[in-house]
């Protein structure tokens, strides 16, 4: 089986899985985000820290999962959660005392994993659960089509950028970081994804103006997210972040655009939807 066929088959089941988990219930969507977040953070820490402070890698991954799922459990226990986070991070400083080398450099790396992956996914969950400032039953609040809309826009951006770059690409977008990305591919992705967002707004019941803005942000910041991960892999001299998705690489390879774009797109959902 050649690589293109493998990517196509894997991609079909990947999209079906993401869509099904998103649409079925708020709890399956939470499980989906926990899978993405947990596996993504493990990949990230493995890249930037390798086997250094493995115990802290595990602890901060668990902390990331707690952050992602905070909507479902934090409620009146904000003080408890805040103290727990502060105690855990402070403990990591103490733990560093017992490391013989590279102790302090681990702290910002561990924290960066939370801000790169966990907090954006928490914002994702929050933005599709919030309604009129009320936090009632998750089942009543959940808006799965808003979530699926973001996934589809990111997929469209990636696909259109690849096709337009393949057909018309001549000018490199950011050659030092990603030689295959072209200006023509980016422009094509921007125009076609923004155009396609009009159809999505009808299917998913979203304001056309709002979805045009979200599509624009998805392409711009999604492309930047792709470049950020490319730079990360280039600095650490690896081809893929992992091998968990046959033909596609790792979780970071598939969701790099999503992680960086989420703070911007979810802000639109949260304040404008």
pLDDT for the residue 110: 86
Q: Do residues 116 and 36 make contact, with C-beta atoms less than 8 angstroms apart?
A: no
Both tokens of residue 176? 């030092």
Return d(Cα 244, Cα 251) in angstroms, integer: 7
Radius of gyration of the chain (CA): 19
pLDDT digits (tens, 9 = 90+) for 184-193: 999 999 999 9
Look up the pTM and report it.
Answer: 0.87
Q: What percent of the chain has pLDDT over 70?
A: 81
pLDDT digits (tens, 9 = 90+) for 101-121: 556 677 788 889 999 999 999
pLDDT of 228 > 70? The answer is yes
């Amino acid at each position: 089986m050649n690589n293109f066929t493998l990517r196509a088959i894997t991609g079909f089941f990947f999209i079906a899985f993401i869509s099904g988990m998103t649409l079925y219930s708020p709890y399956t969507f939470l499980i989906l985000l926990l899978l993405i977040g947990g596996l993504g953070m493990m990949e990230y820490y493995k890249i930037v820290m390798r086997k250094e402070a493995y115990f802290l890698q595990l602890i901060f991954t668990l902390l990331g999962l707690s952050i992602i799922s905070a909507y479902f459990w934090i409620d009146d226990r904000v003080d408890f959660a805040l103290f727990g986070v502060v105690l855990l991070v402070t403990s990591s400083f103490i733990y560093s005392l017992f490391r013989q080398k590279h102790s302090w450099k681990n702290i910002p790396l561990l924290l960066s994993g939370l801000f790169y992956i966990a907090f954006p996914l928490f914002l994702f969950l929050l933005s599709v659960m919030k309604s009129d400032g009320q936090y009632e039953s998750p089942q009543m609040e959940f808006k799965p089509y808003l979530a699926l809309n973001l996934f589809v826009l990111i997929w469209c951006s990636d696909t259109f950028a690849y096709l337009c770059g393949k057909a018309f690409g001549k000018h490199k977008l950011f050659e030092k970081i990603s030689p295959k990305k072209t200006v023509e591919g980016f422009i094509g992705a921007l125009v076609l994804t923004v155009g396609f967002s009009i159809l999505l707004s009808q299917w998913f019941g979203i304001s056309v103006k709002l979805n045009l803005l979200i599509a624009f942000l998805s392409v711009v910041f999604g492309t930047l997210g792709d470049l950020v991960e490319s730079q990360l892999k280039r600095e650490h001299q690896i081809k893929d972040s992992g091998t968990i998705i046959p033909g596609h690489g790792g979780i970071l390879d598939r969701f790099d655009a999503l992680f960086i774009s989420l703070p911007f797109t979810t802000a639109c959902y949260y304040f404008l939807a």
